[in-house]
């Protein structure tokens, strides 16, 4: 009996050690450390926006043409790094000769500074509009100044596409500063998104905004929501984990995620976002429009000279575009994308994954098939565009 117990204990310990994979050394790394660990030259730059927010860029220093990567909602620059050199786009772009820059939206774990001494409430008073009209322009200008280039390439995922549309619509002069944009799971209209309780959130949005403000809830998807290293790898195939990914992202087949990196992924997301940003996306669902933030009749008149918030005019987007969309994406719903597409003036390539592929929203960044369907095509596109442009 004792011998059996010892054998059982030994087997248990071996299993627990297997659960602590080699990836665990990446669990606590930040973007700078990721870049350095895998042999690339890291650089951290803090850019001040016109309204005093301090936005952090991480760079994989290269001598080639610059490319800026912009993450999704409540994510960070980590999303382009956590899968490692063989699967993460940032490393692959660097290997191909690009000078790679990774954006971090205001309010995420890397971009929480400001120079205006804002109160907590004042600081979090932003949506994806400010990211598009203030963060991105400041970052692009900084990159062009540092690199002495005239244009950059751009890759955006989810919210990273939203802020691109906002920038090019509201500040169309920035169209000429982008050589080509690859837009992964583009989000503008959100009429048909599927998200837990989205109908309820849309119906009671104004009440919820007042309620959250009353209780001082200005930040959502905070860092302390993350699951830490302990136990993550060992329960990754549990029904709880399956349910979470299904409800939030529609992942029915858990094997489509990069399972050997789940502990690293889960230790880096979420990375923080403002409550107001989420409200802005929900507003789009409620109003069935891609429009500026709705402050109510009186403030709308003051800010916009209009009772209703104006629509973003995406017809002003003149940057050459490549779009990647999926019929299985619940957050960048194909019917919403088809509202967007006819309004865009310069789509050069359009890739649509059919439903049989079961390619869900989170897989654009964290799936095991990213090389085949996202990374390799993106590399090919950007290299072709650079070759065909005057920028060398």
Question: Contact at 8 Å (CB) between 120 and 150?
Answer: no
In this structure, is the dihedral angle defined by the CA atoms of residues 302, 305, 309 and 315, taken in order, positive or negative? negative
- Nearest-Å Rg of the Cα atoms of the chain is 21
Question: Contact at 8 Å (CB) between 271 and 108?
Answer: yes
Which long-range contacts does 282-287 make (Cβ < 8 Å, 24+ apart)?
Answer: 282/190, 282/198, 282/201, 282/202, 282/205, 283/205, 284/189, 284/190, 284/191, 285/190, 285/191, 285/193, 285/198, 285/201, 285/202, 286/202, 286/203, 286/205
Q: How far apart are the first and last CA of the chain?
A: 73
What is the rounded CA–CA span in Å between residue 112 and residue 218? 13
Per the residue annotation, which of 71, 268, 280, 361 is the catalytic one?
A: 361
Per the residue annotation, which of 79, 88, 158, 332 is the catalytic one?
A: 158
* Known active-site residue 71: no
Angle formed at CA 34 by CA 28 and CA 39, multiple of 5 degrees: 140
* Known active-site residue 158: yes
Catalytic residues: 158, 361
């Amino acid at each position: 009996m004792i011998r059996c117990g010892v054998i059982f204990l030994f087997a248990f310990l071996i299993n627990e050690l297997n659960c602590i994979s080699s990836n665990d050394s990446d669990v606590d790394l930040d973007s700078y450390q990721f870049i350095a660990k895998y042999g690339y030259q890291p650089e951290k730059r803090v850019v001040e926006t016109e309204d005093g927010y301090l936005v952090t860029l991480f760079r994989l220093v290269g001598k080639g043409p610059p490319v800026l990567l912009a993450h999704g909602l409540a994510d960070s620059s980590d999303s382009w790094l956590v899968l490692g050199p063989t699967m993460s786009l940032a490393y692959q772009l660097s290997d191909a000769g690009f000078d790679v820059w990774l954006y971090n939206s205001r309010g995420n774990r890397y971009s929480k500074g400001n120079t205006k001494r804002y109160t907590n409430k004042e600081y979090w008073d932003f949506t994806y509009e400010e990211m598009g009209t203030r963060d991105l322009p400041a970052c692009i200008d900084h990159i062009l100044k540092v690199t002495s280039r005239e244009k950059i390439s751009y890759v955006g995922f989810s919210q990273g596409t939203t802020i691109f549309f906002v920038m090019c619509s509201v500040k169309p002069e920035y169209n000429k500063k982008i050589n080509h944009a690859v837009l992964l799971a583009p989000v503008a209209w959100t009429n048909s998104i599927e998200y837990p309780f989205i109908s309820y959130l849309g119906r009671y949005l104004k009440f919820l905004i007042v309620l959250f403000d009353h209780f001082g809830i200005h930040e959502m998807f905070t860092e302390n929501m993350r699951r830490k290293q302990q136990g993550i790898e060992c329960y990754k195939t549990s029904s709880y984990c399956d349910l979470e990914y299904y409800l939030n992202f529609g992942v029915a087949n858990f094997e489509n995620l990069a399972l050997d990196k789940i502990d690293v992924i889960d230790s880096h997301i979420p990375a923080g976002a403002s409550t107001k940003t989420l409200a802005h996306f929900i507003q789009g669902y409620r109003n069935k429009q891609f429009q500026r933030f709705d402050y109510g009749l009186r403030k709308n008149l003051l800010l916009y000279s209009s009772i209703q918030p104006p629509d973003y005019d995406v017809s002003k987007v003149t940057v050459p575009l490549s779009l990647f969309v999926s019929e299985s994406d619940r957050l960048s719903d194909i019917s919403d994308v088809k509202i967007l597409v006819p309004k865009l003036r310069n789509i050069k390539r359009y890739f649509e994954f059919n439903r049989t592929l079961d390619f869900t929203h989170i897989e654009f960044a964290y799936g095991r098939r990213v090389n085949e369907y996202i990374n390799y095509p993106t590399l090919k596109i950007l290299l072709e565009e650079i070759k065909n442009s005057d920028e060398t």
